[in-house]
Structure 1
């Protein structure tokens, strides 16, 4: 069992005018660069059929983080107990730590993931994390701006570099408790509302402060031309 990722020329144009074929080739390049890491799918083959191109990738057993949030989140139920909140918090904190480790391994290879959100994080049955969908990934020093992204994990104020992933990770830290970070696309003030609401969970000291600090650091990261993004 494998995953086939298909791309057709001049189809699937994004905001930058890039087609699906170009993005598929970008994913191939990044997966080759990241080969051997347990936190990315293995690239098994590349095929061409007529004008269509395919990547053959490892089928990752498990479910997306988005699926786990829908199935596990205690606030789905009307009256979660303190123990329910504590058990979920322990699980969520562990997942976020594993995602951070995976991102660190990707960054160590000189790659920015570029599209971190709950649907692009797979959790294997044994708890290991796999990042999927590398068509927006790019080299750390590359002059490239992701043109696709989840509105709850991306901002037009951050255009390139590892700050894109740092911002998304800060959003993920919040989204595992309040999976409505899409509201932040309306105004940055929504971060304050969400972090205030997240206090319902027994979070470790400094957790919410770290989210705010990481968001501020990501926003203040200089662009390649030396100008700050804030």
Structure 2
């Protein structure tokens, strides 16, 4: 992949959009992964390189939510354990899959997850005033987090929807706190995935870091928006982003 001023501008712009989408919902990689491949990057390298921005975006968003007291720190460790296990398995699967089969698997996974979230958006919208559950009291949440970790380690695109289904749908957190915990889980399995991809020398660092600038910017402003937005507004945005993510994945 040749890095030019034009391609850099495109990557930063898409990174900003993806950072916003990933922080408030999920599916931002439906924009960045296809773009990296269209620009000439092999599917395995695109999948690995995209994780650099995801990691930095998740770190930025998690810190932002923590500063606004919207991050439930007591549940971080119980959530991170199953997502780390799943993330390692998913990253190893992606890293060792041959390129000819990886690309259709990546795109197929993006389309399927987007369709599920369009058809069943109520999975991640608990009623206002619902008291959240603890991971220790919900075996279903551990299963969901492990699955989310595997999917996130494997492909990333759309994993935010699975995490929100586990954190908001099963554990019944509101969307703001659910998004904060989602970013922490994403940070965990992305770190594991990056270790695997770095060890396998599958990251194109220059385009990855350029894309990261957009990811970080999008996450920073999205946290500020999420803190101030009404619950109904976040619900509507979640549905819109889900539909957009579906069409983005299917169009490629």
TM-score over 0.5 for the pair = no
TM-score, L = length of structure 2: 0.28
Larger strand proportion, structure 1 or 2?
1
Question: Bigger relative contact order, structure 1 or 2, given CA contacts below 8 A and separation 6+?
Answer: 2
TM-score, L = length of structure 1: 0.30
